[in-house]
Amino acid sequence: MKLIVMTGIPGSGSTTVLKNVLKKVDYLHLNYGDMMIKIAKEKKIAEDRDNLRKLSPDVQKEIQKDAAKAIKEQSESENVIVDTHCTIKTPSGFLPGLPKWVLEELVPDAFILVEADPDEILIRRISDETRTRDRQRVSEIVMHQEMNRAAAMSYATITGATVQILENHDNQLDEIVSNMIETLKI
Amino acid sequence: MKLIVMTGIPGSGSTTVLKNVLKKVDYLHLNYGDMMIKIAKEKKIAEDRDNLRKLSPDVQKEIQKDAAKAIKEQSESENVIVDTHCTIKTPSGFLPGLPKWVLEELVPDAFILVEADPDEILIRRISDETRTRDRQRVSEIVMHQEMNRAAAMSYATITGATVQILENHDNQLDEIVSNMIETLKI
Amino acid sequence: MKLIVMTGIPGSGSTTVLKNVLKKVDYLHLNYGDMMIKIAKEKKIAEDRDNLRKLSPDVQKEIQKDAAKAIKEQSESENVIVDTHCTIKTPSGFLPGLPKWVLEELVPDAFILVEADPDEILIRRISDETRTRDRQRVSEIVMHQEMNRAAAMSYATITGATVQILENHDNQLDEIVSNMIETLKI
């Protein structure tokens, strides 16, 4: 059984890629943030993402760990893809989505980073009217993808997992879907 | 209470930024190297930086840890900014300024990396007559800042802290000072 | 006594550099992969690299650790250079050559990354008829060297070792050999 972590910055198109991959492979899809909320609800300490963010760092850390444990358990009986963020761009900087205490519970087989050219990402974000996203410069997109790569290699060092970078260019969805399926099969 | 680590390569102007930030916020400023010397003096094992460098790696490691513990303790009763090096460019390569055993004691809230364009850094170094600095090529400056970003993401993975990159361009001191103050307030 | 890890992607020319360095310094040369096979043979669980790869991840991890311990022991009585891969480009992504459990046994003094310009590497790979290597695009070579730098800084954070990047340009073998010898002497 495999446990794969999939990430991509807003506009990378990772959600679309994942949706199309899941039609063709036998993998359970879990969202890390949703799992955290589920656990927070069960423990009756938070009802949604906003509540969660307001908890003390120590409590948040406990919930992060418990979510990782729950995902790991699921992955023992079936193949699992977790979608989450490699790093989150916050007003106080890049926050690692998978800090050490999460990695030590999760121990995935691979991290998949869905990337695209910064100008593609910029155009996709402008076209995306369903979400309000902060307008960013190309240089910021370049930096976010660079920081994600560095973070991913640090995650890999701690877990021994591989880091796969897949390019999701405009009008080439079939290509990335088949590349990702290749990665899942190994 | 907050504990912030601030770094910048020589010529990044981090010292000037810090001086100006400290006029406007209620933070105690500690220098990591000074704290190490203070501890080495108290233990009567070294008098200055040169003595310190000649000690065995194990002894240096102990002093590094003790300095981190002392800073952490201070940060329990007041907001602290520690200034130090993300990586130090030595003749044997880039030395991590905050190895794992330091991070595990320090556990800061954020790492702030003050950066500038390589040509700005080069010109500032040439103009800076108060210190003797090795002349470096632009490509070396680019590499040092790149290695610092990678190191910072590794530090963030271990501690869960954010990594904030702030640009310190010529004649834009007010901008970075206000950006840094924003980061400190979150 | 020193323990140095030396890496370079295929076509970087690290093997040639090492051969020439070893003529001039008193260092024992060990290959990490060979050490793993030696240990697997002694334990009678694998005979060659192919057997080794087919073992369960847990067994491979044990052998990795034992190989690191054996190298560390050797380095207590003589200077050692270990050659290995910083990351290995596999079909499922970049695999860290020195995951955490290896680093914790090995604790080297320095990581040396032998690099070259992507076009130099491409031409060298094409000219190299002794090995069958996957043809790669320049962008993939750039990415592999970038991921190796990030991995190396993560290795350095865990161990406290330095990361030295040495450029091995065409027709400049003497230069990198003397630069590497400088690094070994510090």
Average pLDDT of the residues in A39-61: 91
* pLDDT bucket at B11, cuts 50 / 70 / 90: very high
pLDDT at C132: 55
pLDDT at C175: 97
d(CA A162, CA C94): 5
- Span B115-130, pLDDT tens digits: 999 999 999 998 876 6
Q: Could you tell me where the beta strands, DSSP code E, fall in A2-121?
A: 3-8, 28-31, 80-83, 87-90, 93-96, 110-115
* pLDDT bucket at B40, cuts 50 / 70 / 90: very high
* pLDDT bucket at C12, cuts 50 / 70 / 90: very high
A61, A92, A99: residue with CB nearest B157:
A99
pLDDT at C133: 55
- Span C119-157, pLDDT tens digits: 999 999 988 766 555 667 899 999 999 999 999 999 999
Name the region of C54 (left: φ>0; alpha: ψ -120 to 50; beta: rest): alpha
Containing H/E element for C177?
Answer: helix C173-185
CATH class of the structural domain C3-31+79-185 = alpha beta
Instruction: Determine, for residues B160 and A96 on separate chains, whether the beta-carbon distance falls below 8 Å.
Output: yes
* pLDDT bucket at B132, cuts 50 / 70 / 90: low
A144: three-class secondary structure by DSSP: helix
Partner A contacted by C155 (CB < 8 A):
yes
For tokens 């933070």, name the residue: B27
Q: What is the DSSP letter of B82?
A: E
pLDDT at A134: 60
* pLDDT bucket at A43, cuts 50 / 70 / 90: very high
The interface predicted TM-score (ipTM) is 0.94
Chain B closest-CA separation from residue A174 CA (Å): 32
- Span A67-80, pLDDT tens digits: 999 999 999 999 99
Closest CA to A151 of B56, B170, C151: C151
Partner A contacted by B160 (CB < 8 A):
yes
Closest CA to C145 of C110, C176, C109, C120: C120
Instruction: Give the C-alpha distances (Å, rounded to integers) separating B29 from B23, B36, B71, C144.
Output: 11, 15, 10, 39
- Span C19-37, pLDDT tens digits: 999 999 999 999 999 999 9
- Span A150-179, pLDDT tens digits: 999 999 999 999 999 999 999 999 999 999
- Span C41-84, pLDDT tens digits: 999 999 888 888 889 889 999 999 999 999 999 999 999 999 99
**Mean pLDDT across chain A:** 94
Instruction: Determine, for residues B182 and A91 on separate chains, whether the beta-carbon distance falls below 8 Å.
Output: yes
User: Which of A162, A167, A179, A183 has the most C C-beta neighbours within 10 Å, making it the best mutation to test the interface with C?
Assistant: A162
Q: What CATH number matches the domain at B3-185, 2.60.120.10, 3.60.150.10, 3.40.50.11140, 3.40.50.300?
A: 3.40.50.300
Say which CATH topology domain A3-26+81-185 has: Rossmann fold (3.40.50)
Chain C closest-CA separation from residue B14 CA (Å): 22
Partner B contacted by A30 (CB < 8 A):
no
pLDDT at B119: 94
d(CA A84, CA A97): 7
Average pLDDT of the residues in B163-172: 98
Check: CB of residue A46 under 8 Å from CB of residue A37: yes
Domain boundaries, chain C: 3-31+79-185
Average pLDDT of the residues in B64-80: 98
pLDDT at B164: 98
**Mean pLDDT across chain C:** 94
**Mean pLDDT across chain B:** 94
- The yes-or-no verdict on residue A147 having pLDDT over 60 is yes
Check: CB of residue C113 under 8 Å from CB of residue C86: yes
- Span B42-57, pLDDT tens digits: 999 998 888 888 898 8
